[in-house]
Structure 1
Amino acid sequence: MSQDAGWGGGAYRGAHLGGSPYGEGVYGGPPGWGGWTPPPKPGVIPLAPLRLGDLLGGAFATMGRYWKPLFGMGLALWGGSALVMVAALVIAYSAVSDTFEKVVALPQGIEPDSSDVVPLVTAFGVVALLGIVLVVLASALMYGAVPAILQDAVLGRQVGFATVWRRSRERMASMIGTVFLMGLVGAVPVLLAMVAFFAMTVAIIALDGGNGALTIMSIGALCALLTAPIAVWLWVRFSLAPAAVVFEGQRPVEALRRSSQLVRGDWWRVLGITWLSSAIAGVAAYLIQMPFSILGMFPTIISSANLDADPSPTAVIIAMSGYGVAIMVGQMVGQVVSGPFPLLVNGLLYVDRRIRTENLGPVLAEAAAVPPQGGAPQDAVPQHGG
């Protein structure tokens, strides 16, 4: 079977599964006197429609069994991005430190010269642009790495860091386009609300809080109320697109359409599970970062006690560097440990939707060399085409 790992783009679509909780005519039915037969579970999930416990348990199981490629990718991407950003900030500050101290030292009410402002804006603007590029690249590779791991985790196969890196790198261009389109579609309503809020603020200042300002305020609030649900609705509709890029080799636009097709009829469930997984990851990241924040305060307090009465900006930055490094390390560790969890749940949701709507369970069982009910084990495991 040439697509037993990628599973194809609906190539194995079958009748909608119904009846028993594990699908009628697949697994879980009562075969004669044998009673209830559980669905096969060659990997981290049973090959049947997944309940909430299956989704969360499958995500935790994947993190436990495949922690080397999973956390290795996270450390390489997020840790590498953090190191590059630190180096860029140090270089940028070294280049404009004199100008920065000059601007900060100006008396209150004195505007700095444009010749002093332009280098600062340019230096830190380049750093900000570099940060955006790094975030996009790291996110695209990580969005590709997690489904690449799930391709084998669902089938109970082993996968190494090199294989995950190769698969995610091969799909990086399509993943960047998909993530960009998802962000663009979700950002349009938010930008409209921000524009309305900005117009409301300007109107309040210009009209001194009169009736005109109240009218603008009402319009802005109405725009925010109308656009926020649209953004959430689109975000959920397209939330399975990254998984479709990796599992099926879809291009960005086709991946969005594929996600919309899979989410149809199960929007509220996808929303609830996605929000729950994000909340779990957020709490875990906060708990991981807290000790680093507390430890980072001690060197900062000691360094601050040695500052002069009128310290220079450079001295203040050096004194605060210990706390900044602790915060950065805590955030990186929290991101590496908890960041993959929502992506794993999202990928398993994709698998669940295909099992429910396209009868994918028997295909996965065949790919994992699980013997059919009443049959003998297969002699060989079919090789996937990646």
Structure 2
Amino acid sequence: MSYGSTPPYPGPAGPSGPPGWGGWMPPPPKPGVVPLRPLGLGDILGGAFATIGRHWKQLLGVAFAAYGLALAAIAAAIGIAYSAHANTLEHVLDADAAPGWDDVAPVVFTFGAVYLFGLFVVLVANALVYASCPAVLQDAVLGHPSTFGRVWRRSMRRVWSVLGAVLLTSLIVAVPMVLIGTAFVATVITLITLSSDAGGFGWLILIGFLGALATGPLAVWLWVKFSLAPAAAVFEGQGAVAALTRSSRLVRGDWWRIFGISLLAYGMAAVAAYVIQLPFSFLNLLGPGFTEDVSTSGAALTVVITSMVFFLVTVLIGQALTAAFPQLVVSLLYVDRRIRTENLAPSLAEAATAPPAAY
């Protein structure tokens, strides 16, 4: 079932039909996880939880596959970077005097490249998870059964359009993040070198923090404006730019409501991820690396890299277990906006009685 077509019913509410006894109106049909009418907050949150309950195998399967591959790629990149600069790192850490910029520059640039590579890999993994949530909802809203293979094929078919939409949105939102990251790196370099040639980084620190404060509100506004693009890319088969345009039109006039519900969903997912990651954090603190002698640079680097890898594993496990929920909420907001503005409910009710489309 594609959600791209709009039935020719007049008005946003569609035909009401004849009233029943005493003006009683029959409840709207509910073939799947949500009633086919404009959705309230309870409908959206309840529908997201119901979808997870019915289709958790498909959602977790895609999430663990996506983030597992991302973790393997990032770990390999970190290993290659460390192997290339192991001697330089030991020299910097063992030096009696504070190292200069020429000493730390190769390490900073290499691990900066690893960081950018990691961001891209995580974006691809997120795009696959973002595509899987509308793919699952295509069946969940209509009450149709689903399988992992069915969801995987749908997600892979639309992942590049979703990635394009996510990447374009991320480039906009990344401006304040890059500025704050620049300020942080400049601060770290200043603290490490503690030499006169690092004095110029003070301007970078100031510009980074002030720039992040100036561009942050605009980035949030654009993020909400384009938040429905992954759902549009999957439900309607839109390309990246067309999905962004479609999201902008659907969000118009309902920005604050979408912002509030989305923020609530991401907050709930963040709390759940923290609770999930907490036991792993205790295991990391009690791990063997923190009981070893770290007086030498080699031992210190081993502890740092072990902790970094363990941290990545912990974060990705938490992400895999919680990433689906906010995306399901956002996808249901897309369905709600289509019902409110384009009278999608009769089309969904008709599709619910038809056999599932083959993928």
TM-score (norm 1): 0.78
Q: 2: CA distance between counterparts of 1:111 and 1:263?
A: 51
RMSD: 3.3
Q: 2: CA distance between counterparts of 1:186 and 1:306?
A: 41
Q: 1:253 to 1:117 in 2, by over 3 A?
A: closer
Q: 1: CA distance between counterparts of 2:255 and 2:221?
A: 8
- Whichever residue aligns with residue 25 of structure 1, its letter is S
The corresponding residue for 2:234 is 246
The 3-state SS of whatever aligns with 1:64 is helix
- Whichever residue aligns with residue 337 of structure 1, its letter is L
Q: 1: CA distance between counterparts of 2:171 and 2:112?
A: 22
2:97 is aligned with 1:102: no
Q: 1: CA distance between counterparts of 2:247 and 2:327?
A: 15
- 1:361-380 per-position Cα deviation (integer Å, ceiling 9, x unaligned): 111111111xxxxxxxxxxx
2:334 is aligned with 1:354: no
Q: 1: CA distance between counterparts of 2:80 and 2:319?
A: 25
- 1:195 shift after superposition: 9.8
The corresponding residue for 1:307 is 293
The corresponding residue for 2:190 is none
- 1:30 shift after superposition: 4.1
Q: 1:283 to 1:30 in 2, by over 3 A?
A: farther
The corresponding residue for 2:81 is 92
Q: 1: CA distance between counterparts of 2:57 and 2:85?
A: 41
The corresponding residue for 1:378 is none
**Contact 2:144-2:356 within 8 A present in 1 as well:** no
- 1:148 shift after superposition: 0.8
2:136 is aligned with 1:149: yes
- 1:124 shift after superposition: 2.8
Q: 1:33 to 1:156 in 2, by over 3 A?
A: same
Which range is displaced more, 255-264 or 125-134?
125-134
- Whichever residue aligns with residue 148 of structure 1, its letter is A
- Whichever residue aligns with residue 60 of structure 2, its letter is F
Bigger CA radius of gyration: 1
The 3-state SS of whatever aligns with 1:66 is helix
The 3-state SS of whatever aligns with 1:259 is helix
Q: 2: CA distance between counterparts of 1:319 and 1:188?
A: 33
- 1:243 shift after superposition: 0.5
Q: 2: CA distance between counterparts of 1:321 and 1:106?
A: 20
Structural mapping, 1:16-27, within 5 Å: 16-18=11-13, 25=16
**Contact 1:48-1:355 within 8 A present in 2 as well:** yes
Which of 318, 336, 348 is matched with 1:364 structurally? 348
- 1:69 shift after superposition: 1.1
2:243 is aligned with 1:255: yes
**Contact 2:7-2:347 within 8 A present in 1 as well:** yes
- 1:330-364 per-position Cα deviation (integer Å, ceiling 9, x unaligned): 22221111111110000000001111111111111
- 1:252-295 per-position Cα deviation (integer Å, ceiling 9, x unaligned): 22111211111122111111101110111111111111111112
**Contact 1:146-1:347 within 8 A present in 2 as well:** yes
Q: 1:383 to 1:328 in 2, by over 3 A?
A: closer
- Whichever residue aligns with residue 6 of structure 1, its letter is S
2:73 is aligned with 1:77: no
**Contact 1:141-1:169 within 8 A present in 2 as well:** yes
**Contact 2:7-2:346 within 8 A present in 1 as well:** no
- 1:231 shift after superposition: 2.4
2:270 is aligned with 1:282: yes
2:2 is aligned with 1:11: no
- Whichever residue aligns with residue 344 of structure 1, its letter is L
Structural mapping, 1:28-39, within 5 Å: 30-32=19-21, 35-39=24-28
The corresponding residue for 2:172 is 185
Structural mapping, 1:120-139, within 5 Å: 120-121=107-108, 123-139=110-126
More helix by percentage:
2
The corresponding residue for 1:327 is 311
The corresponding residue for 1:376 is none
Q: 1: CA distance between counterparts of 2:333 and 2:20?
A: 28
TM-score (norm 2): 0.83
Q: 1: CA distance between counterparts of 2:148 and 2:2?
A: 18
2:45 is aligned with 1:50: no
Structural mapping, 1:328-347, within 5 Å: 328-347=312-331
**Contact 2:92-2:99 within 8 A present in 1 as well:** no
- Whichever residue aligns with residue 7 of structure 1, its letter is Y
Q: 2: CA distance between counterparts of 1:225 and 1:321?
A: 32
Number of matched pairs = 342
Q: What is the percentage of aligned positions where both structures have the same residue?
A: 47
**Contact 1:48-1:361 within 8 A present in 2 as well:** yes
Q: 1:227 to 1:327 in 2, by over 3 A?
A: closer
